[in-house]
Amino acid sequence: MKSVLKNIVAAAALVLAAGTAHAGDYPEKAVTIVAPYGAGGASDMAARALAETARDYLGDQPVVVVNKPGNGGMIGARFVSEIEPDGYTLLLARVGMALYPAVQESSPVGWDGYTFLGSLEATPMILAVAENSPYKSAEELIAAMKAEPGALTYGASGATAIDGFTVQALLADNELDPLTAATLVPYKGGGALATALLGGHVDFLAIAAGSLMPHIESGKMRALMVYAPSRMDTLPDVPTAAELGFDKAGQITGWSALYGPKDLPEEVVTRWQETLNKVGEDETWLELAKRRGSISTAGKEDMPAYAKSQYELFNGLAREFGYIQ
């Protein structure tokens, strides 16, 4: 009898050891990061920068980026939220993952419908015009909209996307109708939006810095204002929305984070949290963040609390602007 019990205990120990060894082996194959917006935009660039640096801390396993744009980022977000929670398909989350459910009560995924793996970066938004625009400051642009409401056009992913709220908040701060004082022209992704401004198809926009900085640095665009807690090092002469006294616009900024589907195994969560801490100190990651005008927050933010606060901010603006009755 004792021999039988010893065999059972030994077998159980082997199973437990095998399970523990297997858990510690994650990842054993390529990890896919879904960027839920188009190529060339902030999510795409952050995802590719993360893929380039994270593999060094994941046993040299490949990290692959796949773009799944559409519906304000929610096609890609829903895809990840519904996939098997094994850690091999993750989401390059953007502010839209908090904003969309704050505005759309029938959102396919709630702001908290994920496993929060950690923050990645803060991404200032820039109010910009083409280099041949007559407007040299945010005040001049606002004055033109006051003089002829609805005449000027701006590009955005959608009225209730982050780059729609950047403009609408600015309009509201200046006692203009946020929905009619400027005419929105929709485009998919930061790359398409930047192209629209360069081609003269819209008069202005306010989108993520990463999509605009190369054009600003080349002199093809002019930055009028930044949506960020402080001035950007690369644009020291461009004021922030808060500096100009714009209360609502001053609360808006962009960000990126890494999410997974609900109920990810604890060992996967731990591995990614450790990895993001290392990424946050990686010289390549930091240099790539600087190039795209971002501020690394990898491993620093309490992501569940921050995501909740962002949801509450945009839910309040949505009610004020009339998107939610």
What does the pLDDT read at residue 22?
A: 42
| Over residues 117-121, mean pLDDT | 96
What does the pLDDT read at residue 240?
A: 96
What does the pLDDT read at residue 24?
A: 64
What does the pLDDT read at residue 299?
A: 84
Q: Does residue 301 register a pLDDT over 90?
A: no
| The two structure tokens encoding residue 51 | 């893929």
Q: Residue 116 forms beta bridges with which residues?
A: 259
What does the pLDDT read at residue 98?
A: 96
Measure CA 176 to chain center. 27
* Spatial CA neighbour of 166 closest among 96, 98, 249, 225: 249
211 confidence band (pLDDT: 50, 70, 90):
confident
Q: Does residue 300 register a pLDDT over 90?
A: no
**pLDDT tens digits, residue range 76-104?**
999 999 999 999 999 999 999 999 999 99
185, with CB counted inside 10 A (0-12, 13-18, 19+), is: middle
What does the pLDDT read at residue 17?
A: 39
C-alpha–C-alpha distance, residues 204 and 57, integer Å: 41
Cβ atoms of 56 and 282 within 8 Å: the answer is yes
| Over residues 198-218, mean pLDDT | 94
Beta strands in 24-71 (DSSP E): 31-35, 63-67
Q: Could you tell me the domains of the chain?
A: 9-123+254-321 (3.40.190.150), 125-251 (3.40.190.10)
Higher pLDDT: 276 or 324? It is 276
| Over residues 203-210, mean pLDDT | 93
| Over residues 272-291, mean pLDDT | 95
| The two structure tokens encoding residue 25 | 């082996």
Q: Does residue 308 register a pLDDT over 50?
A: yes
| Over residues 261-265, mean pLDDT | 97
Length in residues, the chain: 325
What does the pLDDT read at residue 6?
A: 46
| Over residues 305-309, mean pLDDT | 95
**pLDDT tens digits, residue range 7-45?**
444 444 444 434 433 446 899 999 999 999 888 888 899
Counting residues of the chain whose pLDDT is more than 90, the rounded percentage is: 77
What does the pLDDT read at residue 284?
A: 96
Measure CA 296 to chain center. 12
Residue 117 DSSP SS3: strand
**pLDDT tens digits, residue range 124-170?**
999 999 999 999 999 999 999 999 999 999 999 888 888 999 999 99
